[in-house]
Structures are given as structure tokens and as C-alpha cells.
Structure 1
């Protein structure tokens, strides 16, 4: 897709620059968390607290013409955190880079986008972290939409990845809007992995589509899907997996309800071949999950709003073994104009959510517990 970057760079160079067409923003999230350690490690107990900066972003948007938009967004917090986990002492470039794309528009009816950006899957994933009324997106998003784990392919103890069904990737996408057809909005994209930056052992290609209707001003309905082909270098094999989902949003006055459901493949692999050989097979079964978020926005004064929100979620990570999780979360959000939010939040997961794993050269599934934290905290969002 290098031609796409060349095209947009050439177009930007020829376009006249104007300060009015350039927007530069800083965006920061800082929080203090109180966490029950036993919900992350069953051998641990007691509570701990820590300060964190989950996101620290620089956001640039330039409209050199009415038809062209260029976007760049970097996250220093993710870049340093991933580099620290990897032990290389510098930025993890694939985590530092969030958005880097160009968009060519033909009015409201059609647009073409190329670069690095979010796939058009899941209303919750497409919502900016600064707009979330409950700071964490939850179990289904973190396990399947934001990232997919293939298991320990080489017996090294490190999980391999195939990219989330709805995470950011390098891609090209077309979309548009037909207002006369129930305000129909559509997106269709093809995406590549950024393996040359991450150095991962697996590669993936995704086709993602989303269709959204607004039959009434207070109601939005959408369906979306992703077909993913990923490759495993150890065996030179390709695998196909898929996910489908639907979501809805209802807004009336200050009240809002957001509902989402998803179903798809859990792409855990196993290797029944003899030691020293690789012949992987899909063994993760299917996952199914959904969540509902209810909120109410209250105006307290000029440029001051209070929005309480509650979220309930259920997830069955795999049909290969039994084990469901039930998550309850809430947030109390105080907004100061458009640039600052103070959020008091909590979350806990009940039940016993379990995925599946396989020992090397074995076909016997092993129940693998999934850990989701019980915590409460205070988060500050700033946009400046």
C-alpha cells in the first residue's frame, strides 16, 4: 500500500497551507487505580494502588482542501509501555503510532481512506477513549476485538498474535452516506498487519465491513463483520477466522442506551505433530458476548455536566471449554466544557471466564482462566 502514502504526500505538498486548516491537539489521560490483586493473579491477595498515564497523545489534522484530510496521531504512553514490556529500552513504534492516514472526500456521499487507522467494527471500539463513559471497554473488546491470541506456537511460553478483529491496522477503505435511504452509512476496507514494525511471527489480512442505519433521529442500528486470514511462519500455514456483530444506540433527551453483541472464532491453535514438526489446527471454538451501557446526562450549569453510567457485559470466551464471565462497571463523569472530564469509576467481573490452551504436540484442550480486574479509580481526561 506504499502507493497510497505517496499519493497523499504528493497531494499535501501541492495543496496551499493555511493555519485555519490545521488543528493540533494534545490529549492526556491520568488515573489512580485501586485494584484487587487476586483478580489478576489467583496466588496473590490484598489490594494495591498505583498512578498511571494510560494515554498521552499528539493529534494533528490538516485539511489542505475541501476534499482532502490528513491525520496523524501518536501515543507516547503506549510506545513507552510496550517498549518497557519488550525490554528494548526505546519506543515500540507499532504501539506509538495510532492514526496516520489520508482521506479523500466527494461530498458526504463517498470517501476513500488509506493509511493506518481503526477498522470499521464495533461501535464501542470506534468510540474515542476520551468519550467513553466507562473508562474500560470490557472483556469482549480486550480479548477479541482489540487483540487475538493464537497460543504458544513455538513452546516458548509467549503468546503469538493475529491482530484484533477491530484494532488499528494498515489499510484502505471506502465508505459513504445515502441520507435518503434511512440515513444509510457504509464502510468497506482491506487491511494488512504492521509486522515489519512489530517483528511478530504471524501475519494477517482482514476484510471488514460495516452498515449503519438511522431510521429515526433517536435510533441508530448497525451490523458489521470481519473475515481474517492469518499466517504462521513456523509452519507456513494460513487460517481463516471471522467475527460478526451488531450494535444499537438510543438517545432521547439526556438518556442514552448502547447495546452491542458479537459472535466469532476464537483462533487458538494446537499442534498435534511429532516433536520438531509443525502442523497447526484451529482449536479455540467460538466466542459469544454482549454488553449494554445506560447513561443519563445532567446539566449542572454553564459548561458543566454530570453523566452517571452503568455497564453490564457477558462473555463466553470459547465453546471448547465451559466458563462464562459477567462484568459490571460504572462511571460518574463530570465534564467541564469540551476539554476536561473527571471520572470516578469501578468494575468487577463475576463468574469464571475461561479460554482454552494446548500443550505442545497435544490435542487435549486445557482450560485457561482469563483475568479481568476488580478495581475502582479516578481518571482525569484533558484535551488541549
Structure 2
């Protein structure tokens, strides 16, 4: 399959001038919009095209003190795109509270992203390639029993150390009800992540998720996914490497999957207030390592043009085999 996509993203503050004191008092309101025009070539050779409203986000952050914050993020893209009785309503993305005892000990509770996969933990608005890939789609972001990463309801303890190679740690327990996302199931995930910065510009991390879930016959099953990622930055160049190996809960007990990908990008400013970022991604994903012929290979390329701080134009193309 081959796709060519043009994406326009707009992000802006929703605070009027008269309300700037609210921001200084700890309140921030923000709106972001991302629309795209897609041209897609199917395997049988036919072409299709059309506009899509990919994201329509509104988020609010309130910090009553330096140690505490409350965050709420909503997405109305599905309502605006579908409209009428088919619209599913505004989607809740994030809703959590955080309290910082000190840099080395912070507590977060509510609905938010699990600490697994740098690519998934990064905001989609900051990605140089506007897709997270097959590993995220089929394992990290979601399965029929919830994603090994992605958003869920739970409790997380995390922090950072100034010494010890700038160690960051994350430990969380999540037990969101599948009905929240339209699935008639429940699961519990226990997630841990360790990250270090050996030197300026390089960050390396390992993470793991242990999942408890119920199969169709009501039996309790367990599954694990282990991952690692690294990000190297040097001047305008950024290289992101990531991979994971573990159980494929959709295929059944004893079935395993693996995936690896790399993203390279270079950001430079051709004119004052403008930035150009060409990027490329290559990935390989095997949803069932025990069966031959299931491996997928995917190539993606993108050119990002940022105008000021609120407008981005992206030309994106991909091909998979």
C-alpha cells in the first residue's frame, strides 16, 4: 500500500488578552487542530482520496501550586468529521492530577499514558513523522485487552535523579475498564520504565509491561511486553531507535510478536521564524513470530514546515510491503 498525505496543523492559545493573569496564576487553555488530505493506492491498484479531520484537541491545565497540577484534554475530531447521529461524542484523552513531593518522587493518578515506549509517550504534535508505526498500532497503543502502553486509568510514581546519569524512573499500576473504550473486557497492567542520560544529547531507556486479562472463556491470562528505546540529538539532527518483543494477546497464548523502527530527522531554519524538518522512518513488524510470511516492512518520509509557533504544514508519504 502507498499513501501520500498533506497535513495542516494549527495550535494556539485560547486565552484572551484580558485573561493573561489567569495564566500567570496557573491556568492554561489551549486549542489544537490537525486536518489532512490523503491520496491512497490500494493493493489492487485503485486510488482513493479525501480530507480528514485527524485531531481537534482542547486542553486545560491548572497549577494551584508549583507542586500540584490538574490536566484535562478532550478531542472532538470524530464529532466534527462524522457529525449527525453517527458521531460518538467528545473523546476524553487525559484527565489526571499530579503532585510533586520532590524531583525524585512524584505521584500521578487518573487517565494518562502508561510509561512504555518513548514514541508513544511523546505528543503526536511533536513527531517529525505523523505516524507511530505498526508496533504501536498492534501492541503498544492497543489490543483487544488494552494496549501495553497508551492511555489507561491508574496510578503512577515517577521521578528523576540529578546524579546517576540523570536517571528517571516510572512505576505504575493500571486497571481501566474496557467499556471506557468500547470493549467488553477488563485488564490490569503493571508498567515500569528506567531511563538514563549517559551524556548530553543521548537518552536510553528500557521498559516492561505485565498484563492480566480474561480470555473468552473467562480464564485469567498473563502477557508481557519488553521494550527499549534510544534518542540521540546533535545540533539539529535527531535519531530515534525503538524495539519491543513480547506476547501477542490477540493471537492467543504462546504467540509472540516483535517490532523495531528507526526515525531520523534534521531541523534547520531557512528563514527567520521558519523551520524545515525532513524526516524518514523505517520499521519492521512481525505480529506472529511463529508463522512465516507475516512480517511487514514499512518506509515513511515526511517534510515538516513550521511557520512561527502555531502553524505546521507536513508532506508525508509511506509504502509498506
Shorter-chain TM-score above 0.5: yes
Deviations 1:173-221 (A, max 9, x none): 0000001110000100000123343452221100011110001111100
Q: 1:137 to 1:186 in 2, by over 3 A?
A: same
Q: Determine the structure 2 residue equivalent to 1:340.
A: 311
- Asked if the contact 1:80/1:92 (under 8 Å) is kept, the reply is no
Specify the SS of the correspondent of 2:135.
helix
Give the C-alpha shift of residue 45 in structure 1: 3.6
Q: Deviations over 1:237-291 (max 9, x none)?
A: 111001000000111111111000100100135xxxxxxxxxxx625x1111100
- Find the counterpart in structure 2 of residue 131 from structure 1: 126
Counterpart position of 1:106: 101
* Residue in structure 1 matched with residue 32 of structure 2 by the alignment: 27
Mapped partners of 2:23, 2:316: distance in 1:
39
Which of 142, 148, 173 matches 2:156? 173
Tell me the distance in 1 between the aligned counterparts of 2:48 and 2:85.
27
In the alignment, the residues of structure 2 paired with residue 124 and residue 311 of structure 1 have an alpha-carbon distance, to the nearest angstrom, of 12
**CA shift in 2, pair 1:79/1:317, >3 Å:** farther
Q: Secondary structure at the match of 1:141?
A: helix
Post-superposition, which runs of at least 4 consecutive aligned residues in structure 1 deviate over 6 A? none
- Measured against aligned partners, the alpha-carbon deviations of 1:320-351 in whole angstroms (never above 9, x if no partner) come to 3112111100100011122121100111111x
Q: 1:37 offset after TM fit, Å?
A: 2.4
Q: TM-score, normalised by structure 2?
A: 0.88
CA contact (8 A) 2:177 2:187 kept: no
Q: How many residues align?
A: 299
Q: Report the Cα distance in structure 1 between the residues aligned to 2:182 and 2:268, rounded to whole angstroms.
A: 48
Query: Residue 299 of structure 1: which of 240, 263, 269 is its match?
Result: 269
Residues 168 and 196, structure 2, Cα contact 8 Å, conserved in 1: yes
> What TM-score, normalized to structure 1?
0.74
Is 1:289 matched with 2:272? no
- Separation of aligned partners in 1, 2:242 and 2:139: 14
Go from structure 1 to structure 2 and tell me whether the alpha carbon gap of 1:198 and 1:295 turns closer, same or farther (over 3 Å shift): closer
Partner of 2:280: 310
CA deviation string 1:106-165 (max 9, x = no partner): 2322210000000000011011111111111111111111111xxxxxxxxxxxx10111
Alignment-derived partner of residue 381 in structure 1: none
Alignment of 1:215-294 (within 5 A): 215-232=198-215, 234-268=216-250, 282=253, 285-294=255-264
SS at match of 1:298: coil
Instruction: Check whether the contact 1:18–1:64 (CA below 8 A) recurs between aligned residues.
Output: no
Q: 136, 141, 144: which one pairs with 1:141?
A: 136
CA distance in 2, matches of 1:317, 1:88: 36
Cα distance change, pair 310–78 in 1 and its aligned pair in 2 (3 A): same
Question: 1:219/1:65 Cα in 2 relative to 1: closer, same or farther (>3 Å)?
Answer: same
Aligned to 2:53: 53
User: How many angstroms apart in 1 are the aligned matches of 2:36 and 2:148?
Assistant: 28
Cα offset for 1:167? Answer: 1.4
Query: Cα gap change, 1:238/1:135 in structure 2, threshold over 3 Å: closer, same or farther?
Result: same
Q: Secondary structure at the match of 1:125?
A: helix
SS at structure 1 position matched to 2:66:
coil
In structure 2, the residue corresponding to 1:299 is in which secondary structure? coil
Q: Is the contact between residue 231 and residue 241 of structure 2 (CA under 8 Å) also seen in structure 1?
A: yes
Partner of 2:296: 325
CA shift for structure 1 position 301: 2.0
**Structure 1 residues without counterparts, runs of 5 or longer:** 1-16, 39-43, 149-160, 270-280, 351-384
CA contact (8 A) 1:80 1:91 kept: no
1:41-78, CA deviations, whole angstroms, 9 ceiling, x for partnerless residues?
Answer: xxx54110010011111111110111110000001114
Change in 2 beyond 3 A, CA 1:80/1:118? farther
8 Å CA contact retained: 2:187, 2:213: yes
